[in-house]
Every structure is written in structure tokens, then in C-alpha cells.
Amino acid sequence: MPNWIAAPTPPQDVAILLFPRFSNHCLANAVEPLRAANDLLLREAYRWRFVTLEGDTVTSSSGLPVVPNGRLRDHAGGDYLFVMSSYGARTCATPATARALTSAARRFKTLAGMDTGAWLMAHAGLLDGKSATIHWDELTAFSEAFPMVDTLPDRVVSDGTTLTCGGGMTAFDLVLDLIRRTHGAALGLEVSAMFLHQTVEAPPHRVFRQRVAPLVENAVALMSANLETPLAIGAIALHLRSSQKTLTRAFTKDLGAPPATVYKRLRLAAARRYAQQSGYSITEIALRCGYANAAAMTRAFTGEYGQPPSAFRRPG
């Protein structure tokens, strides 16, 4: 059962290894959830640096240049190395790349191949005897080129100290799952809400980008659509043709918290966004988030976040 809220952890160090013609989409989907997690936690939970093999400026497939912070070999190591190649991964699969990745594998706790990054990891022998995935367009070629790797068509594959995912959207899946595992499902839900539009009829995996029961997915979507006038948990269960007991069991299994706790967090997370991003009064925010008055919301808000909504107001 996942943790709803995990205990605070030390900052995690991430290096993002970029290769020529990397995907902007993949890069944004890998970095922005980390930035959002830092913003929501009000601390530097994640630190990241961009690196290349030789420290040279690297240009994406759409022409965006990125000046790295340095060379991979000079990075002391840390928690994660994101290996990010895209088009032309085969031309990057050189002995020098293999040596650099093999060396880095001794300095980083986990290596994550994104888009076609799995190709470079496999070429270095780092995926031998493991399960992995890659961009769907390369699945067949990848399985033929690296028979020692158990190639799977999954969006994200985790196998010990290696992670792999396919294209740009699956990088978001991978990073969001890392956030959930480290900081709990509550933060994962808030990060997800910052980037994904939620509708009453949510398709599977739309809100969570993870394997949760459709009942949980659709219940959270229904909650998200009814923040100003909250529904009773029993009414949500009835709407979804379920019992309240079944709904509670599914939430506890998939999120580590009952429906009422999740619903409360959704309402208070919305209040937090209003406090940070709007000019609404605290009374107006309370009404928009389903509280009868500002005092009731402020008590709940302070209990959840340790500070009143006014502390989250941004200057200017």
C-alpha cells in the first residue's frame, strides 16, 4: 500500500545527460514535475544539473540549444541519472558513451533511460538480464539488437537500479512515480493536478499516470469537478455504482488514504493555488473550495500545510 504522505527526505540529486537531437518534450516532462514538487514542498527536494559527455552545448531536435552545467565525468554522482537521447541514438552509441555510462552507473543510485536512452544503456551492457522499454517506434529494433534485454511494450519499466520509459509523455509518468514513491501519493496528486486537466469522465491513468483502479480514477475526477459544493462520499460511490465500503477499500489500496482524506487534500490544494496565484480574498477562496467560512478553511489549511493561506500569498 502506498504512503499518502511520506516523511521528509534529504534533497535528491539528479543529473540529466543530454545527447544531440534530444526531445524538448521529454526534457520538459522530466524536469517540470521536479520543479513543481519543489514549489509545492516549499523547499529544494530535488536538485538537477544538465550535463553532456564533453560539456559542449547540445541542440534539441527542434533547434533549442542548451548550455550544460558541465561534463558527465566531472559530476560527483547522486540519486538519479536521466539518460536522454532521441533521434539518432544509434550514432551516439559509441565506445566513449558506453564507458561514460558504465562509469556513471557506479556513481548514481539509479539510471533512467528516457525516450531512446535505453538504447545507449543497453549498448553499454547496463540492461543485460533486465527488463526495459524504449520509444514505441524502436521496440522491435531494440529487442533484436539486444537479445539479453527483456523488452516490454510498457510505458515505464522499473528493474532494480534501472528505469526506462518511452517517449515524452512517459517521462512524466516515470518522474511522477519517483515523486510519489519518495514523498507520497498526496504530493503526486498535486503535481499531477498542475499539468493535467481533470474531467468528470476521466480515462484510465489520466489523473494519476499510474496503475490505479478505474473506480479511484473516476472518483477523484468527480471530486475535482465538485470542489465548491463537495459531494458526500456515499453519493460519489452511488454515482459510480459502487458501495462506500468498496470505494474506501480501493482508495486505501491505491493511494494509502480513504476518500474523505483525498477529497480534503484536493480542496485544500485548490485553496493553496488560489492563495498563490489569485487576488481572491480568503473568504472567497474558502467558498470556492467548499468551506462555509474563512475560519473553517484556515483551520483545515493550517492543519494540512502547517501555515495559514495568507503565508502562501506571493508578493506583488
The residues spanned by each domain of the chain are 12-180, 196-316
CATH 1.10.10.60 for the 196-316 domain, yes or no: yes
Which tens digits make up the pLDDT trace of 32-91? 999 999 999 999 999 999 999 999 999 999 999 999 999 999 999 999 999 999 988 999
The CA distance from 108 to 121, in Å, is 14
Cβ–Cβ < 8 Å for 224, 194: no
First to last CA, the chain: 42
Q: In terms of CATH, what superfamily is 12-180?
A: Class I glutamine amidotransferase (GATase) domain (3.40.50.880)
Which tens digits make up the pLDDT trace of 233-289? 999 999 999 999 999 999 999 999 999 999 999 999 999 999 998 999 999 999 999
Give yes or no for residue 107 having a pLDDT over 50.
yes
Residue 197 confidence (pLDDT): 47
Indicate the range of 44-48, 70-74, 174-178, 312-316 predicted with least confidence.
Answer: 312-316
| Beta strands at 156-159 and 162-165: parallel, antiparallel or unpaired | antiparallel
* Biggest distance spanned by C-alpha atoms of the chain: 65
pTM of the model: 0.89
Domains 12-180 and 196-316 agree in fold: no
